[in-house]
């Protein structure tokens, strides 16, 4: 697949559901080489969300809905951050120094914003607008991510977490649907807080008032095809049921509880 800042999956726009995967891929344009990192670093969470591209594509196919996937590694620039976020381009990530990001000339910082970051967000905005036009109503937006089984040396007990800010419409039934399986440990704003100013959900959902949720699945559970199939089979009927609720398709302003960037705990 040729390099692109984003990839899209076709689907029935009239169904009024959009899937997103900010950190789907670990690709870098040829001119950036490996940012000075050894290949092993691109097998880690610092480069992308393991399992998310396959899970998102599987869900899009099962639900027959469009999806937008980030086409570049978060090591290049993180699409799930605001342009003013100091972690937009990481110099150090989970113990790994990124030589190609340090030092970072102002011109190169802006180039990455214009060439990679903004085209991805334009694709997200255009897809949401196209779905709105086709369905005649506000779409439900679901973002798919994955998280590591350990934070440093501390095990994370959650099998999945649902992140959110102030709009509970999709969140409450999503958590409830997952919790119907008594074996699952489901986090409510775990392992991260879903309130992050100017991130993808803030830009595209909180500001216009769209119902939304961010799903985090633990990476070891979707690291192979069997796990991806299992989680797609689990999530697809839950998302379909939520999407069938008319309340999900009314633009409503709930506001946001995001604070100063330095107060937000987000990996």
Supply the pLDDT for residue 118. 98
Task: Enumerate domains of the chain plus CATH numbers.
Answer: 6-31+45-74+118-256 (3.40.630.40)
Query: Residue 65 contacts by C-beta under 8 Å, 6 or more apart in sequence?
Result: 11, 12, 15, 17, 18, 19
CA distances from 116 to 126, 200, 250 (A): 16, 14, 31
Supply the pLDDT for residue 146. 98
Task: Per residue of the chain (267 residues), give pLDDT as tens.
Answer: 789 999 999 999 999 999 999 999 999 999 999 999 999 999 999 999 999 999 999 999 999 999 999 999 999 999 999 999 999 999 988 888 999 999 999 999 999 999 999 999 999 999 999 999 999 999 999 999 999 999 888 999 999 999 999 999 999 999 999 999 999 999 999 999 999 999 999 999 999 999 999 999 999 999 999 999 999 999 999 999 999 999 999 999 999 998 544 333 344
CB crowding 150-186: b at 16 or more within 10 Å, else e: eeeeeebebbbbbbbbebebbbebbbebbeeeeeeeb
CB crowding 2-28: b at 16 or more within 10 Å, else e: eebbbbbbebebebbbbbbbbbbbbbb
Query: What SS3 string covers 58-91?
Result: HHHHHHCCCEEEECCCCCCCCCCCCCCCCCCCCC
Supply the pLDDT for residue 211. 98
Which of 92, 50, 99, 77 has the alpha carbon at shortest distance from 227?
A: 50
DSSP state of 114: I
pTM above 0.75, yes or no: yes
């Amino acid at each position: 697949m040729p390099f692109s800042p984003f990839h899209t999956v076709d689907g029935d726009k009239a169904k009024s559901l959009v899937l997103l995967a900010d950190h789907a891929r670990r690709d870098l344009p040829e001119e950036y080489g490996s940012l000075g990192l050894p290949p092993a670093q691109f097998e880690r969470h610092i480069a992308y969300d393991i399992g998310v591209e396959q899970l998102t594509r599987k869900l899009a196919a099962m639900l027959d809905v469009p999806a937008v996937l980030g086409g570049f590694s978060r090591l290049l620039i993180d699409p799930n951050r605001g342009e003013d976020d100091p972690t937009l381009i990481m110099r150090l990530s989970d113990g790994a120094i990124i030589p190609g990001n340090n030092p970072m000339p102002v011109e190169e910082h802006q180039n990455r914003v214009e060439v990679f970051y903004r085209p991805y967000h334009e694709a997200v905005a255009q897809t949401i607008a196209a779905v709105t036009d086709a369905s005649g109503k506000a779409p439900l937006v679901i973002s798919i991510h994955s998280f590591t089984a350990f934070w440093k040396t501390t095990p994370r007990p959650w099998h999945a977490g649902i992140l959110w800010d102030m709009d509970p419409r999709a969140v409450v039934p999503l958590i409830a649907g997952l919790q119907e399986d008594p074996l699952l440990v489901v986090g409510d704003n775990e392992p991260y807080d879903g309130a992050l100013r100017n991130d993808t959900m803030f830009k595209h959902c909180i500001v216009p008032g769209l119902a939304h949720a961010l799903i985090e699945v633990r990476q070891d559970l979707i690291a192979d095809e069997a796990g991806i199939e299992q989680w797609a089979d689990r999530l697809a009927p839950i998302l379909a049921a939520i999407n069938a609720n008319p309340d999900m398709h009314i633009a409503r302003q709930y506001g946001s509880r995001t604070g100063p960037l330095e107060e937000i705990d987000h990996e």
